[in-house]
Structure 1
Amino acid sequence: MNFLRKIVRPKTKEDEDFYYDLKDLLNFKPVVLNHYKKAFTHRSLKMTDKTGKPINYERLEFLGDAILGSVIASYLYKESPKGDEGYLTQMRSKVVSRENLNKLGKDLDLIRFVRSNVSRDQVGDNIHGNIFEALVGAIYLDRGYNYCHQFIYDQVITPYVDIERLEGKISSYKGLIIEWCQKTKKKYNFESYEDTGNQTKKHFSVRITIDGQKIAKGRSTSKKKAEEMAAKRVYFTFQNQITNS
């Protein structure tokens, strides 16, 4: 990549506003605005380029996810010299969890840049984390790895990464319950089924049994959320046993 190229000045008032908003957000001058426009384009617009390839943030999200993971992994490797592979993997998962990424996107108010044909209520919470990752991907294409590294350090590591706090945070209640059951030789079962009822939006319920006894139930708009909800209830039911096992 040639980073000595001249900055492409915005040609329209809309592009000029976007340019200066980005500059304030990134703390550096963006070069190719189209990378960033793509990072904030929702698939609902059904935009394509001259060759028919879709123009939206999803491929940039994939790229940004990989770069974000590598920067966090490097930081944890240096800051936790005694941590083994399992520890480092778990800590990285906590930092880049969907919950954290959504919070990052919300704190930066990235949704203000998004171009979409659907309302904000319809796109769901995960769009905040998705476009944060897409933004990282756009930075990489525009200015390279070093700029990504600095942006992630300023926006993620410095304000959010507290290793001691993260060590005590549970990233997956389902994983914790399964690990505890396997460790203590308990038989467990996660039973899921559609439970929409009178609501138009699809819902799922998950029932957890341990050693044949129904312990908890969770209900939400996705199977994964329902599992976490039910598993969290199991955790608080057996918290002392789990903590001391």
Structure 2
Amino acid sequence: MTELELTRLCKRLGYHFTDQALLEQALTHRSAHRQVNNERLEFLGDAQLGQIIAHWLFQRFPEASEGQLTRMRAALVRGQTLADVARGLDLGPCIRLGGGEMKSGGERRASILADALEAIIGAVRLDAGPEVCRERVLAWFGDRLDGVSPTETVKDAKTQLQERLQGRQMPLPEYDILTVSGQPPRQSFEVICRLPGYDHQETARGSNRRRAEQTAAAQALAWLEEQLRD
């Protein structure tokens, strides 16, 4: 990225980095550099995001039960939501990818966008501390925070995909782990979601199997909805 592109990104983020190297690392996918990439920052950002959202929900809904708080948090931190926030910040074109990922449209892939957003959250935490990080996260998630409710039942992507296929009397999706890299607690899972009835599949990565499967299901659901609209 050029200096101008980084400056424009910082303007969209509403934050200018003291250590610009942190931002550049947060935008570097593993396919572009195996040693210096955004996986460690993603790990930190994932933890920060969960804590920030949980604390906000706890304060915003004092009467909500543990189950309601858990469902709202899950809806806000799931891969598809993160990817949508990343798209709103136009992160895709800023992510540094290897040749193979670039050719396959990696900058539009939900899992890559979600990981980059988490990495940026981690980078802001290191660069400016917890309070600034919290303020930025709540700003980026603003509209989505306004839309959550303890009484609204939120179905995750896997459930939505399964119900959509059942409604059309199609075979259910199949999930398998492709690779597991790293050591606990910093592992990365790559999974595949297959739609046998459509001869289509989606792959995604996540910091645990469940998260990877949810992201792959969200991608498959988005693809399916596109097919049904045609």
* TM-score grouping bracket, smaller chain normalisation: 0.5 to 0.7
Matched with 2:33 is 46
Would you say the 8 A contact 2:32–2:98 is kept in 1? Answer: yes
Counterpart pick for 1:142 among 104, 122, 127: 127
1:60 aligns with 2:50: no
Q: Percent of aligned positions with the same letter in both sequences? A: 27
1:221 shift after superposition: 1.5
Counterpart pick for 2:152 among 167, 188, 207: 167
Matched with 1:33 is 20
Matched with 2:88 is 107
Higher-Rg structure is 1
Gaps of 5+ in 1: 1-12, 48-53, 178-189, 195-201, 207-216, 231-245
Secondary structure of the residue that 1:31 maps to in structure 2? coil
State the Cα RMSD in Å: 3.6
Counterpart pick for 1:82 among 63, 71, 82: 63
Change (3 A) 1:204 1:163: closer
Would you say the 8 A contact 2:49–2:118 is kept in 1? Answer: yes
Secondary structure of the residue that 1:45 maps to in structure 2? coil
Paired with 1:193 and 1:95, the residues of 2 have a C-alpha distance of 23
Q: How many residues align?
A: 184
Paired with 1:25 and 1:44, the residues of 2 have a C-alpha distance of 25
Matched with 1:4 is none
Matched with 2:113 is 128
Amino acid at match of 1:104: V
Amino acid at match of 2:116: I
Would you say the 8 A contact 1:67–1:137 is kept in 2? Answer: yes
Secondary structure of the residue that 2:53 maps to in structure 1? helix
Paired with 1:103 and 1:193, the residues of 2 have a C-alpha distance of 23
Would you say the 8 A contact 1:218–1:227 is kept in 2? Answer: no
1:115 shift after superposition: 1.4
1:151 aligns with 2:136: yes
Paired with 2:66 and 2:150, the residues of 1 have a C-alpha distance of 19
Secondary structure of the residue that 1:146 maps to in structure 2? helix
1:97 aligns with 2:78: yes
Would you say the 8 A contact 1:111–1:128 is kept in 2? Answer: yes
Matched with 1:71 is 52
Secondary structure of the residue that 1:43 maps to in structure 2? coil
Amino acid at match of 1:154: A
Would you say the 8 A contact 1:71–1:149 is kept in 2? Answer: yes
Give the TM-score normalised by structure 2.
Answer: 0.67
Paired with 1:23 and 1:193, the residues of 2 have a C-alpha distance of 37
Runs of 4+ in 1 over 6 A off after TM superposition: 226-230
Q: Which has the higher contact order (CA 8 A, sep 6+)?
A: 2
Would you say the 8 A contact 2:68–2:151 is kept in 1? Answer: no
Would you say the 8 A contact 1:30–1:142 is kept in 2? Answer: yes
Change (3 A) 1:203 1:155: closer
Deviates more, 1:217-226 or 1:85-94: 217-226
